C-alpha cells in the first residue's frame, strides 16, 4: 500500500516532470551549485505534490480507499527521499556528461559535501513545514506554504554554506574534528529532525477532521 501511495505522489505530476527537468537544466547553466540545484528542484516537486493533491481533494479520496493515515503520511515523507535521490542522480549524471566542469560559487565545498548539504537542507526544511502543512493547509493557504517552503530551502542552502565557512575559519573544534565528521554530525541531526517531524505529522493527521 505504501508503495502505491509513493507511486501516486510521483505520477500526480504527469507532464510537469518535463518542466522540472527544464528548470533543472536552466539552474545548472546559470547556477552550477549542486546543493542549490538539488534543493530547489526537490522543494518545487515536493510542494507541488501537496498542491496538486489539495486541488484534487486528495485527502478525502485517499482516506475513502483502503489506506491508513499512517501510510498516507509515511508515503509523503518517503516520496521526498525518493525525489531527492532521483534529482541528485540526474544532476550528478549531467555533471558527468559535462566532465564535471562546475564553476560553483560554493568553491570551498567538494561535490560530495554539496550533495550531503542538499539532503540536510531538504530534510530540515521538510521537518519544519510538513507538520504545518498537515495542520493548517487548505486550498486558500497551500500556495503560501509552497512559496515559503521553496524560499526556506533556498535560504537554507546559503545558510549551510556560510555557517560551514564561518565555523571552519573561526572554530578550532570544528577544524580539529575534520569535514567528514562535521557533515556526518549534521546528517545525523537532520535525520533525527526528520524522524521527529514524521511522528508529529502522523499525530496531527490522525487527529485531523477532513473537510
- Phi and psi at 68, nearest 5°, equal -85, 160
Query: What pLDDT is attached to residue 170?
Result: 82
Side-chain-side CA neighbours of residue 14 (13 Å):
3
Q: How far apart (Å, rounded) are the C-alpha atoms in residues 108 and 3?
A: 39
Comparing CA positions, the residue from 151, 148, 182, 142 lying closest to residue 165 is 182
Query: What pLDDT is attached to residue 140?
Result: 63
> Which residues of the chain register pLDDT less than 70?
31-32, 56-59, 62, 98-108, 137-141, 209-211
Query: What pLDDT is attached to residue 127?
Result: 94
Amino acid at each position: 500500500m505504501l508503495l502505491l501511495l509513493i507511486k501516486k505522489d510521483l505520477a500526480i505530476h504527469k507532464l510537469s516532470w518535463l518542466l522540472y527537468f527544464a528548470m533543472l537544466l536552466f539552474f545548472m547553466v546559470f547556477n552550477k551549485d549542486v546543493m542549490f540545484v538539488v534543493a530547489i528542484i526537490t522543494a518545487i516537486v515536493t510542494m507541488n505534490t501537496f498542491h496538486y493533491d489539495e486541488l484534487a481533494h486528495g485527502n478525502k479520496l485517499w482516506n475513502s480507499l483502503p489506506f491508513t493515515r499512517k501510510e498516507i503520511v509515511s508515503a509523503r515523507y518517503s516520496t521526498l527521499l525518493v525525489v531527492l535521490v532521483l534529482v541528485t542522480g540526474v544532476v550528478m549524471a549531467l555533471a558527468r556528461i559535462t566532465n564535471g566542469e562546475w564553476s560553483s560559487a560554493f568553491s570551498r565545498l567538494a561535490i560530495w559535501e554539496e550533495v550531503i548539504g542538499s539532503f540536510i537542507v531538504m530534510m530540515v526544511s521538510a521537518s519544519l513545514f510538513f507538520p504545518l502543512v498537515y495542520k493548517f493547509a487548505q486550498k486558500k493557504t497551500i500556495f503560501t506554504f509552497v512559496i515559503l517552503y521553496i524560499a526556506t530551502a533556498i535560504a537554507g542552502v546559503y545558510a549551510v554554506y556560510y555557517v560551514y565557512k564561518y565555523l571552519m575559519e573561526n572554530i578550532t573544534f570544528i577544524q580539529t574534528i575534520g569535514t567528514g565528521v562535521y557533515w556526518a554530525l549534521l546528517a545525523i541531526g537532520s535525520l533525527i529532525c526528520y524522524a521527529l517531524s514524521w511522528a508529529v505529522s502522523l499525530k496531527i493527521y490522525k487527529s485531523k477532521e477532513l473537510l
